[in-house]
Structure 1
Amino acid sequence: MKNICVRFVLFLFTSVALAQSTHVSILNNDKGIKLVVNGKDFMINGMNWDYFPIGTNYSYSLWQQSDAFIKEALDAEMSLLKNMGVNAIRVYSGIQPKWVQYIYENYGIYTMLNHSFGRYGVGINGDWVPVTDYSDTAAQDQLLSEVTLMAEDYKNTPGLLLYLLGNENNYGLFWAGAETEDFPDNEHEKQFVGENRGRPMYKLMNTAAVKMKSINSSVPVAICNGDVLFIDIIADECKDVDIFGVNMYRGISFGDAFQVVKDKLNKPILFTEFGADAFNTIQNKEDQQSQAYYNLGNWKEIYQNASGLGKTGNAIGGFTFQFSDGWWKFGQTKNLDIHDNHASWSNGAYQFDYKEGENNMNEEWFGICAKGPTNDKGFYESYPRAAYYALKEAHKINPFSEGITLEYIDKAFKNININKAVSKALKNKKTLQTKQSDCVKKGK
């Protein structure tokens, strides 16, 4: 009986140790830079994921619902993500550690935990300051306090992959709101803002990274920048940040981004946001084919720039933006039950619906899944678009597998049939339209 008890105690100890053994490191050698998770090469096939039922906005939090509600929502969403080969999600702080562990242990999906780091304001002495001044000592103390607490709370959480600081906070230095706007063209103005408002921010991000890694050295820290703006300042001020995370919307190709990051920073590049919307402003209708086209082009470049394949070798993966449509993104506090098709910013890199002088980027249509109506219990269903099925095929490719070459990756992506993906998705669209029609008849 004594031996049985001893074995049982050893089993429990081993199980706990294994549950807490997730170790993430960065390997930098002559072949390139890559992420290593528990001793295995790891390409991040990530997704920007959130849960906002139609009719809600940023003030809604899944994590404030009952455990039963959260579990049911996660089971539905994570099943779809696992099915398409997603191995990591980007989630903002607010998720409790137990759900990070739940997602990992039940679906094998890791979490990159994102602290906005003053992007949308900061609370100081009980007051909300909507525009963060990173040179202000009170703001600095508050932000460092928040990320310190986060690192302590999530230490040894199974499934925690990375910490991410900010969300294109360099863009937030120019405008105050969360809603995306066109960017100023004046180079002198950009550099002035970078030196006066950006440099203190990046310096503080580096201080935060040092502090967080002193608490938990097994989880790397990334920052989230808007494209490569202010990269020279980042090179000066963020030497202790592990990963250069970037939100980048350059159309079908990231261009010179891989080489610029390699030359300027010699850090791994992680695409924290990228992709395309599923609405064509010229045709004024949904365009699933072009969304899949842009996403596939982006992922092909990420894989081809992975370590060991002969190109820059510094790409460690990305998080497609985003899993389901955000019906609140345009206007943010009004028309929350309307799927708005107003484009809020302009980007000539997305040529299928670009007209000079007109906006073409539709913030409410970036989901690779369409969002179904909210039911009586507060849940919704996600309906995969063509990009979902195309990326499911893409994520079957592992650039670290033996024998993988640039030519192999190129051929594998050429073999992904977008038309077939569109055909699959159209069946989902018809089902969704039927459900929406039923809701209208019922007066919901």
Structure 2
Amino acid sequence: PWYVGRSAISRIRYLLKKHPELGLKLEGAYIKVINGFDNDVSNDIFIINPGRLKRVSLWDNIFKNKRRKFGKVVKERGGRVKLIKYESGDWQLLVEGRPFIIRGITYSPTRVGESPDEGTLANWMEQDINNNGIIDAPFEAWVDENRNNKKDPKEKNIGDFQLMKEMGINCIRLYHHPLKPNKEILRRLYQEYGIMVIMGDFLGKYAIGSGASWYEGTDYTNPEHQKNMLESVKEMVEEFKDEPYILMWLLGNENVYGIACNADKNPKAFFKFLDRVAKEIKKIDKDHPIAVANGDTLYLDIFGKLCPNVDIFGVNAYRGKYGFGSLWYDVKEFADKPVMITEYGAPSYADGYTEEEAEDFQAEYHRGCWQDIEDNLFGRGFGNALGGIIFEWLDEWWKAYEPSYHDTKGLFSGPYLDGYMHEEWLGICSQGDGSDSPFLRQLKKAYFVYKEMWRKY
């Protein structure tokens, strides 16, 4: 559930940070919601402290980011990619001994006109529609700088991988099914562009990997479904565990929301099975951590009790331009795991607003979310943030079921400029009018916001 009071506290803190000239900070404010991780608001119990506004001196501003003492390492998991927890409660991700802040993105450069719903979605890792022996989107995408939907003489091929490198991205999120990853492409991604891969298995979401039909849906108590999913995960780990580009394993994608699976109706069965799968992964691979991609903090309390073998609480969270609010506290309190935001973002279209206004909002939304992640990284805030994965790189035109048309329908309400989610406009790159898909890229303002923010890393 969305709680107005908790959201208000987040907004006040956001505004005070954005306007330091006010010289104020909100101190001690919180709203704790007992039984707040299910969909039944009737059983909620609230514990409230409104806090108080306190004057902030120049001295406070100078020392507000002073690092705390971390103490000894109290937990250590992984090998080449390692998670470390300190006495202070701070978590840190290391790759070959060096700190690694996840600056990720979901990369699925779908060609206009293609759709998984119609069975026409091609594998971008194999796609070469001009038959020149070069994979299209990763290596031949070009930037339409003047947005005229024509390739002018100065607009040369650059490729998405290079554009992502220049932006500061250091990992992408992929799933090993239903389309098979191309190892050679991913090796080039890592070796030539320094970008790693978070490799995922849907764990029965959309009935993928379980052997269930769409209408039947995955049943997490069904032994046959469990067997099929476990085999799918083991196949992924065995095939990719020795690849140098693998950062971690990601299990599921908002399974707790349902959709061709019953994790929403039986979350305990789902999380028990999730932990069993994580335990099996660790028998095969001790070098990489394991994360779940949860639907916000739904059933977080159950996860915290039943999933000791899952190393990272990943969360798809679309809470608004003010960041993620109480999420950092909630995970620390109920699961004591590091947090990775596995999806966040906003559309660059809004009904009744200009293209410029909508892009400005999208950029502002991303800036606010990333700053909240930064404020809770190792040594800051709750110290349990590992980074985040932007959703997504490129606008996908199939989301509203008309893959040859860039649909402007608001599919559901949310904290966006016009109050609605326009799923076909979530990319930080556009495909223009679609006439030169999958090659044309129009870089939105959010792209340059990240390029500026991530320059320091």
With the shorter chain as reference, the TM-score category is 0.7 to 0.9
> Which of 380, 383, 387 is the aligned partner of 1:313?
383
> Which of 62, 77, 83 is the aligned partner of 1:26?
83
Count of aligned pairs between the two proteins: 349
Is the partner of 1:62 in helix, strand or coil? coil
> Which of 109, 129, 137 is the aligned partner of 1:73?
137
CA distance in 2, matches of 1:118, 1:70: 34
Aligned to 2:411: 344
CA distance in 2, matches of 1:203, 1:96: 32
TM-score by length of 2: 0.72
For 2:137, give the aligned amino acid: A
Superposition deviation, residue 122 in structure 1: 3.8
Q: Is the 8 A contact 2:214 2:260 kept in 1?
A: no
Are 1:371 and 2:435 matched, yes or no? Answer: no
| Deviation string, structure 1 residues 106-130 (Cα, Å, up to 9, x no partner) | 1000000121111111466696665
| Deviation string, structure 1 residues 392-430 (Cα, Å, up to 9, x no partner) | 1111244xxxxxxxxxxxxxxxxxxxxxxxxxxxxxxxx
1:68–1:135 CA distance, 2 compared to 1 (3 A) = farther
Are 1:281 and 2:345 matched, yes or no? Answer: no
| Deviation string, structure 1 residues 134-159 (Cα, Å, up to 9, x no partner) | 11111100000000010000021011
Are 1:254 and 2:333 matched, yes or no? Answer: no
- Gaps of at least 5 residues in structure 2 are 1-77, 140-158
Structure with the higher helix share, 1 or 2: 1
Is the partner of 1:337 in helix, strand or coil? coil
> Which of 76, 81, 87 is the aligned partner of 2:170?
87
Q: Is the 8 A contact 1:100 1:160 kept in 2?
A: no
Q: Is the 8 A contact 2:79 2:286 kept in 1?
A: no
Superposition deviation, residue 61 in structure 1: 1.7
Q: Is the 8 A contact 2:104 2:169 kept in 1?
A: yes
After the TM superposition, list the runs of 4 or more consecutive aligned residues in structure 1 that deviate by more than 3 angstroms: 63-72, 122-130, 193-196, 372-376
1:289–1:82 CA distance, 2 compared to 1 (3 A) = same
Aligned to 2:107: 49
Superposition deviation, residue 391 in structure 1: 0.8
Superposition deviation, residue 285 in structure 1: 4.9
Superposition deviation, residue 55 in structure 1: 0.7
| Deviation string, structure 1 residues 201-245 (Cα, Å, up to 9, x no partner) | 111111111111211111111000011010011012111001000
Is the partner of 2:421 in helix, strand or coil? coil
| Deviation string, structure 1 residues 361-410 (Cα, Å, up to 9, x no partner) | 1000001000146678x742222100000111111244xxxxxxxxxxxx
> Which of 207, 215, 218 is the aligned partner of 1:132?
218
TM-score by length of 1: 0.74
Aligned to 1:353: 418
CA distance in 2, matches of 1:61, 1:121: 20
Aligned to 1:118: 204
CA distance in 1, matches of 2:171, 2:211: 35
Aligned to 1:303: 374
CA distance in 2, matches of 1:154, 1:105: 16
Superposition deviation, residue 199 in structure 1: 1.1
Superposition deviation, residue 69 in structure 1: 5.3
Is the partner of 2:125 in helix, strand or coil? helix
Aligned to 1:425: none
CA distance in 1, matches of 2:367, 2:268: 35
Aligned to 1:384: 443
- Gaps of at least 5 residues in structure 1 are 1-20, 178-192, 355-359, 399-444
Q: Is the 8 A contact 1:373 1:381 kept in 2?
A: no
Is the partner of 2:110 in helix, strand or coil? coil
Aligned to 2:255: 169
Of 230-239 and 120-129, deviating more is: 120-129
CA distance in 2, matches of 1:27, 1:223: 18
Q: Is the 8 A contact 1:100 1:157 kept in 2?
A: no
Identity in percent: 34
Aligned to 1:190: none
CA distance in 1, matches of 2:216, 2:169: 34
Q: Is the 8 A contact 1:165 1:222 kept in 2?
A: yes
For 2:165, give the aligned amino acid: K
Q: Is the 8 A contact 1:371 1:381 kept in 2?
A: yes
Of 133-142 and 204-213, deviating more is: 204-213
> Which of 361, 376, 398 is the aligned partner of 1:328?
398
Aligned to 1:437: none
1:278–1:195 CA distance, 2 compared to 1 (3 A) = closer
Is the partner of 2:137 in helix, strand or coil? helix
